[in-house]
C-alpha cells in the first residue's frame, strides 16, 4: 500500500515583544497539532509560548492538541489577553 503524501503546515506565534515566529514544515499525512508544535521548535525559541499551549487554533478556530492537520493548515499559538477587549472599547469610547 502506498504511503500518503506529506502535508505542508505552518506554525506561527506573535510574542508581546520581539519578532514573530513562523515555521513552515513538512509532516506525515497523519500528523496532529502537537506534532507540528514539536517539529517547529517553538518551545525552544519562545519558552513563554509553552505556557499557553491550550490556546491553539487552525485558521482562527480553537482546536485541541490532538486535532488532525490537513495540507496547508496554519497552526496559530495565541497569547493570553492582557485586557478585556470590551472594557478597552468602553474606555476608548469615553475619551
The total domain count for the chain is 1
**What pTM does this model have?**
0.79
Residue 90 lies in a domain: yes
CATH number at residue 83: 3.10.20.30
Residue 35 lies in a domain: yes
Residue 61 lies in a domain: yes
Residue 2 lies in a domain: no
pLDDT digits (tens, 9 = 90+) for 3-16: 689 999 999 998 88
Cα-to-chain-centroid distance, residue 64: 11
Residue 62 lies in a domain: yes
Domain that residue 33 falls in: 7-94
- The four Cα atoms 52, 53, 59, 62 give a dihedral, to 10 degrees, of -90
Q: How far is it between the farthest Cα atoms of the chain?
A: 66
pLDDT digits (tens, 9 = 90+) for 55-71: 899 999 999 999 999 99
Q: How far apart are the first and last CA of the chain?
A: 66
Amino acid at each position: 500500500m502506498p504511503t500518503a503524501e506529506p502535508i505542508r503546515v505552518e506554525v506561527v506565534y506573535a510574542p508581546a515583544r520581539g519578532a514573530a515566529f513562523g515555521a513552515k514544515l513538512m509532516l506525515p499525512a497523519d500528523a496532529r497539532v502537537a506534532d507540528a508544535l514539536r517539529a517547529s521548535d517553538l518551545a525552544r525559541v519562545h519558552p513563554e509560548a509553552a505556557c499557553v499551549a491550550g490556546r491553539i487554533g487552525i485558521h482562527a478556530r480553537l482546536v485541541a492538541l490532538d486535532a488532525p492537520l490537513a495540507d496547508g493548515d496554519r497552526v496559530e499559538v495565541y497569547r493570553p489577553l492582557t485586557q478585556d477587549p470590551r472594557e478597552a472599547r468602553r474606555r476608548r469610547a469615553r475619551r
